[in-house]
Amino acid sequence: MASDFQTIPIIDIGPLVDKADDPKMAEDKQVLEVVRLLDEACKMAGFFYVKGHGIPYSLIEEVRELTHKFFTLPYEEKIKIKMTPASGYRGYQRVGENITKGKPDMHEAIDCYKPMKHGEYGNLGTPLEGSNLWPDNPLNFKSLMEEYIDLLKDLSRKIMRGIALALGGLPESFEGELAGNPFWVTRLIGYPVLSDAKRSEMQDSDVGCGAHTDYGLLTLVNQDPNVNALQVRNRAGEWISAVPIPGTFVCNIGDMLKIWSNGIYESTLHRVINNSPTYRVSIAFFYEPNFNACIEPVNFCKEKVNGVATVEKAVYGEHLVKKVLTNFVM
């Protein structure tokens, strides 16, 4: 396994997107080449860019533009959808309310989760029960974001089918009781501009968002094209910039895929440092297992290490709720 990647690979997933629902997808040579590249990227970096994903670039841009518009509103307007425990931790959080490893993050955000009915997952889901809080301004914010989320759910499912093949399973290995009713999280994040003095002072610090791994399966990030802020730590401990590439999503694998793959794929540390003179927006979509799924190494990955599980199992919902309840200062 490579330990010192210096660039993040770019993968054209067009053939996989086109054939993901074809029963014979695993026999298609172009699909298998995408699968090979996904496997290589997940083993090497845990991060990769995807192009050829089929999501209209106009929609990707519009989502960012509306997010910018929301964050430019007066504070009094933004807190109309303020996140609270009573809202199921859904809604707006001001700069510094999100905590990573005990330190406030220099960003503001809107947090959204898959809507959850009262009692749907018993006590396990109680802290996150509710519907998302969408602002009335900009006017078409809710409809646009819901359209975008639906498209990314389907795209993520298709990428996961390729990853299942890459690990030696069937395309549907991570569906059904595991992720046939996938949970999802969307964070619309704004990183403010720091003063010149602050930028030089914080240059090597975890400013925008501290170093962390993601909780679930697969993350797709839509980031502003003109601000270089996302950084990924390679296996040698160096921080590598995930430079924005227009028309692509930056993807990374999370903690639950590390477990399912029996550690074959690692969830990679990453952080955000906005040292630019420009306000930065990033929309992160997190594709997750079923909320109540017990996540443990799948047999076809255990077979690669003499049938032994090398990572501990977890219930996804428990893992998520534990993180959420310690992530915010209210």
pLDDT at 276: 86
pLDDT at 100: 63
Mean pLDDT lowest among 14-18, 30-34, 65-69, 91-95: 91-95
Q: What percent of the chain is predicted at pLDDT more than 90?
A: 76
Rounded Cα distance between 97 and 310, Å, is: 35
Element (H, E) at 37: helix 29-44
56-73: b (≥16 Cβ within 10 Å) or e:
eeeebeebbebbbebbee
Rounded Cα distance between 74 and 78, Å, is: 7
Confirm if 244 and 228 have CB atoms less than 8 A apart. yes
For 238, half-sphere exposure in the C-beta direction (CA atoms, 13 angstrom radius) is 11
- Smallest CA-to-CA distance from 75 within 52, 60, 57, 94 is with 94
Residue bearing tokens 């990030």: 221
Instruction: Please say if the pLDDT value at position 4 is more than 70.
Output: no
Tens digit of each residue's pLDDT (9 = 90 or more) over 262-284 = 999 999 888 988 888 899 999 99
Confirm if 16 and 34 have CB atoms less than 8 A apart. yes
| Tokens (6 digits) for 327 | 């992530």
For residue 49, list its beta bridge partners.
Answer: 10, 250
Predicted structure pTM score = 0.92
Q: Is 300 exposed, middle or buried (0-12, 13-18, 19+ CB in 10 A)?
A: middle
pLDDT at 275: 83
Tens digit of each residue's pLDDT (9 = 90 or more) over 114-160 = 999 999 999 999 999 999 999 999 999 999 999 999 999 999 999 99
Rounded Cα distance between 216 and 112, Å, is: 15
| Tokens (6 digits) for 291 | 């909320």
